[in-house]
Amino acid sequence: MADTMIEADGLVKRYGETRALAGVGFSVPAGSVLGLLGPNGAGKTTAVRILTTLALPDAGQARVAGIDVLTHPAAVRRQIGVAAQDATLDGLLTGRQNLALVGELSGMRAGQARIRAAELLELFELADAADRVVKGYSGGMRRRLDLAASLLTRPPVLFLDEPTTGLDPVSRQRVWEVIRELIGSGVTVLLTTQYLDEADALADRIVVVNHGQVIADGTPRELKERSRSAHVEVTLAEAGPEAVEVIAPLVRGRVSVSADGLHLGAAVDSAPGLATALIRALDQAGLLVDNIEVRQPSLDDVFFALTDAHLPGDDNGSAAARTSAAQHERVRA
């Protein structure tokens, strides 16, 4: 088995005028999980489509399990399992028939495929719905069945394109558990997601893509460290207008104050003894502190720092990025 199970190098793909990929490259070592992270339209799905033999790149190289995707697509298909963003199932077949069909088409004996299908239906908690037509399945059930279909032949390389998008929290948790179990079994996974917590929870390494380019690459920890800024939140016992001036020298940029004047928030540079310094300053000013919290950067912070720094020249793109950053701020506030 190759040491590097997935390799992409300089992938370029245009759809008409749109440049979906503008030279994307990354590699995934055997047995590890790569999270391909980016907003809608960043090029994640296009990269997956190329690696899974569904699309041909206009330039660049791609190898899966050491096999060239462009010259030997059929051999690549024998090594991969794919769970696409839109569930790729046959609506008129039952869940069981869908899985059996996928198994048989992949070269399994009918009996072997049936046994494996039953196993996976059980595992994904679809046994009760197994003999119902898939057209009547909920979104979460379709996703789980699609994931089951991708695992049918126990492929060594898995591509999961936004496996939890549109799922309710319970289904999402269930899918995460399954993916964690898979990871433990030594399979190599490429996972695309818009959710930073998902990448953080599941991936060994994260590649951040935006506008068809890789803008960052590292472990979740490395990426968090890259954006050194942390965030501090102070809760006062009583509102004091002077509090803003007191902490301003210790933080970076503007201090935000809640309407009742009790909560203050600001970006800070991580430094030893920061919380002590803040409390001491506030105490000297005669202000009582109920609570103080220094929060290390989340991947969200990193992500928005990165995508903001990589705005392209065109106005639309930057406006959109700004809007999404602004929305994000609102959500967190």
Partner 1 sequence: MTPAIAQRPRDAAGTRLITQTAAGRVRNVVSMTRRNLVHISREPMQLSDVTIQPVLFTVLFIYLFGGAIPIPGGGSYTDFILAGLLALNLVTSTMGTAVGLATDLHEGIIERFRVLPMWRPAVLVGRSLADLLTSCLCALVVAVTGLAVGWRTSAGPLAIIAGFALVLFFAYSLSWVAACAGLTSKSPESAASFGFIVLFPLAFVSNALVPTQHMPGWLQAIADWNPVSAVTAGARQLWHNPNPSASIDAWPMQHPIEASLAWSVLILAVAAPLASRFFRRRTTE
Q: Which residue has the tokens 């991969």?
A: 80
Piece in contact with partner 1 (CB under 8 A), picked from 116-124, 245-253, 290-298, 309-317: 116-124
The answer to whether the CB of 287 falls within 8 A of the CB of 240 is: yes
When the beta carbons of 38 and 156 are compared against partner 1, the nearer one is 156
Least distance (Å) from partner 1 to the CB of residue 212? 16
54 near partner 1, judged by CB under 8 A = yes
187 near partner 1, judged by CB under 8 A = yes
When the beta carbons of 95 and 240 are compared against partner 1, the nearer one is 95
Among 6, 8, 62, 89, binds partner 1 (CB under 8 A): 89
First to last CA, the chain: 48
Closest to 92 in 3D by CA, of 60, 59, 131, 134: 134
DSSP state of 38: -
What beta strand segments (E) does the chain contain?
A: 4-15, 18-29, 33-37, 59-64, 67-68, 80-83, 157-161, 188-193, 205-210, 213-218, 229-236, 252-257, 263-269, 289-295
321 near partner 1, judged by CB under 8 A = no
Among 40, 59, 105, 222, binds partner 1 (CB under 8 A): 105
The answer to whether the CB of 314 falls within 8 A of the CB of 258 is: no
Piece in contact with partner 1 (CB under 8 A), picked from 98-106, 190-198, 232-240, 325-333: 98-106
φ, ψ of residue 10 in degrees (nearest 5):
60, 40
φ, ψ of residue 179 in degrees (nearest 5):
-65, -40
Least distance (Å) from partner 1 to the CB of residue 231? 38
151 near partner 1, judged by CB under 8 A = yes
Among 37, 45, 49, 301, binds partner 1 (CB under 8 A): 49
167 near partner 1, judged by CB under 8 A = no
Number of residues in contact with partner 1 under rule CB under 8 A: 48
79 near partner 1, judged by CB under 8 A = yes
Among 16, 111, 184, 273, binds partner 1 (CB under 8 A): 184
In whole angstroms, give the CA distance from residue 252 to residue 229: 9
203 near partner 1, judged by CB under 8 A = no
52 near partner 1, judged by CB under 8 A = yes
CA angle 76, 81, 86 (to 5 degrees): 120
Closest to 115 in 3D by CA, of 126, 103, 125: 103
Angle, to 10 degrees, between the axis of helix 299-309 and the axis of helix 315-332?
Answer: 160
Coil, helix or strand for 153? coil
Q: Which residue has the tokens 């998008």?
A: 165
Among 8, 33, 42, 82, binds partner 1 (CB under 8 A): 82
Among 78, 132, 231, 263, binds partner 1 (CB under 8 A): 78
φ, ψ of residue 219 in degrees (nearest 5):
-75, 160
Least distance (Å) from partner 1 to the CB of residue 65? 9
When the beta carbons of 153 and 164 are compared against partner 1, the nearer one is 153
Least distance (Å) from partner 1 to the CB of residue 71? 15
Among 40, 107, 125, 228, binds partner 1 (CB under 8 A): 107
Note the residues at the interface with partner 1 (CB under 8 A). 1, 49, 52-56, 74, 77-80, 82, 84, 86-93, 97, 101-102, 104-108, 119-120, 122-123, 133, 149, 151, 153-156, 178, 181-182, 184-187
